[in-house]
């Protein structure tokens, strides 16, 4: 197979999402260069897995080759990728998020197999904003340096803190990690409202929609906090770490101020505060395996909170 034929076969298989065809195109020790990766991908199996991951995040794919310069062993091509991105939510008007960008590919072939594929394109369509403006009035989580080192490129403000959203790799890679391996989330922005004192349980019962009459130390329950009209303020995880102490681990809401106001007005014997507790979240099939090497507790007894 010539380099030109190999290039066209690759683009055709990518367009048809024919994952099984890529293994036949690449040499066993082939090299794959992509701008989204800091280092090159080496080896047929790793390359095929990377392509498979990319395809999961796309649908309605069209690859258009505009110019191809080729000889038997090497080909150079300019083209355009058209696709709908399923890894990013649609725009506010419901229009799907699309990936339509130009690319350049250089392909080298030996003995009818691709030995090197180098691709170049503008990564901005895969990273909606290369830089997020940061302001001192919003707090940073204790994991800030780790997220920067991991390549964070976009934040949102959540509970008056920066919440990392997008890193220097594609949403399809995130999806593959979540469904096949493990992901680590900086959720330090999920703040804690602590109720401490003799009336901690009574106040938490007033604030939330769950029956807490049978709550025991060590229990963890999912619940809702509503306003007087029944509208949901947030849906915290309620923890009872010790006697006369309740933690409400909540989402984006000023729950501590809300609880303080109710405690003062209702004359509850309780102190309401925001302890400096910053959660970290691990998800994926291999989460328990990784945690076993980090914690002392026997994890087979860890159940779900309901």
- pLDDT (0 to 100) of residue 53: 87
- pLDDT (0 to 100) of residue 304: 65
- pLDDT (0 to 100) of residue 126: 57
Per-residue pLDDT reduced to its tens digit, 171-187: 677 778 888 888 888 99
CB distance 22 to 47 below 8 Å: yes
What share of the chain has pLDDT > 90, as a percent?
Answer: 58
Per-residue pLDDT reduced to its tens digit, 283-303: 888 888 888 878 877 777 776
What does the mean pLDDT of the chain come to?
A: 88
- pLDDT (0 to 100) of residue 132: 61
Query: What does the pLDDT average to over 224-247?
Result: 95
Per-residue pLDDT reduced to its tens digit, 40-61: 899 999 999 999 988 888 889 9
Under DSSP, the state recorded for 20 is G
CB distance 264 to 252 below 8 Å: no
Give backbone dihedrals phi and psi of 305, rounded to 5 degrees, phi first.
-95, 140
Tell me whether strands 26-33 and 113-121 are parallel, antiparallel or unpaired: parallel
Q: What share of the chain is helix, strand, coil (3-state, %, to 5)?
A: 25, 35, 40
**Residue 7 — pLDDT band, cuts 50, 70, 90?**
very high
**Residue 124 — pLDDT band, cuts 50, 70, 90?**
low
pLDDT winner (highest mean) among 48-57, 95-104, 260-269, 278-287: 260-269
Q: Which of the pair, 113 or 56, is modelled with greater confidence?
A: 113
Nearest-CA neighbor of 265 among 203, 209, 210, 211? 203
**Residue 125 — pLDDT band, cuts 50, 70, 90?**
low
- pLDDT (0 to 100) of residue 90: 72
> CA distances (Å), 187 to each of 8, 141, 256, 261, in order?
44, 8, 18, 26
Give, rounded to a whole angstrom, the gap between the first and last alpha carbons of the chain.
58
Under DSSP, the state recorded for 267 is T
Length of the chain: 306
Nearest-CA neighbor of 121 among 74, 171, 82? 82
DSSP 72-108: SSEEEEEEEEEEEESSSPPPTTSPPPEEEEEEEEEEE
Q: Indicate if the pLDDT at residue 129 is higher than 60.
A: no
Q: Indicate if the pLDDT at residue 259 is higher than 90.
A: yes
- pLDDT (0 to 100) of residue 123: 64
Burial pattern 242-253, b for ≥16 Cβ within 10 A else e, equals: eeebbbbbbbbb
CB distance 256 to 273 below 8 Å: yes
Under DSSP, the state recorded for 299 is G
**Residue 210 — pLDDT band, cuts 50, 70, 90?**
very high
- pLDDT (0 to 100) of residue 177: 84
CB distance 243 to 217 below 8 Å: yes
pLDDT winner (highest mean) among 93-107, 110-124, 157-171, 255-269: 255-269
């Amino acid at each position: 197979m010539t380099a030109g034929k190999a290039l066209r076969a690759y683009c055709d298989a990518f367009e048809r999402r024919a994952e099984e065809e890529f293994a036949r195109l690449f040499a066993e020790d082939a090299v794959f260069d992509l701008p989204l990766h800091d280092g090159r991908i080496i080896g047929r199996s790793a390359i095929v897995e990377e392509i498979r991951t990319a395809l999961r995040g796309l649908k309605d794919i069209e690859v258009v080759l505009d110019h191809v310069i080729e000889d038997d062993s090497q080909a150079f091509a300019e083209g355009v990728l058209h696709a709908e991105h399923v890894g990013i939510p649609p725009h506010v008007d419901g229009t799907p998020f699309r990936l339509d960008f130009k690319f350049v590919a250089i392909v080298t072939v030996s003995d009818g197999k691709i030995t090197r594929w180098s691709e170049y394109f503008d990564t901005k369509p895969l990273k909606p904003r290369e830089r997020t403006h940061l302001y001192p009035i919003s707090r940073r989580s204790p994991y800030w340096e780790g997220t920067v080192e991991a390549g964070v490129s976009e934040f949102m403000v959540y509970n008056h803190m920066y919440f990392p959203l997008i890193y220097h790799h594609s949403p399809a890679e995130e999806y593959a990690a979540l469904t096949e391996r493990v992901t680590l989330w900086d959720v330090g922005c999920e703040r804690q409202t602590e109720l401490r004192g003799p009336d901690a349980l009574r106040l938490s019962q007033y604030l939330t929609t769950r029956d807490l009459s049978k709550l025991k130390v060590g229990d963890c329950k999912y619940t809702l906090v509503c306003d007087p009209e029944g509208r949901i303020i947030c849906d915290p995880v309620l923890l009872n770490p010790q006697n006369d102490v309740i933690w409400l681990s909540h989402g984006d809401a000023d729950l501590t101020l809300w609880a303080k106001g109710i405690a003062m007005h209702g004359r509850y014997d309780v102190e309401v505060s925001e302890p400096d507790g910053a959660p970290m979240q691990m998800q994926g099939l291999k989460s328990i395996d990784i945690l076993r090497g980090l914690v002392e507790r026997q994890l087979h007894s860890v159940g779900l909170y309901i």
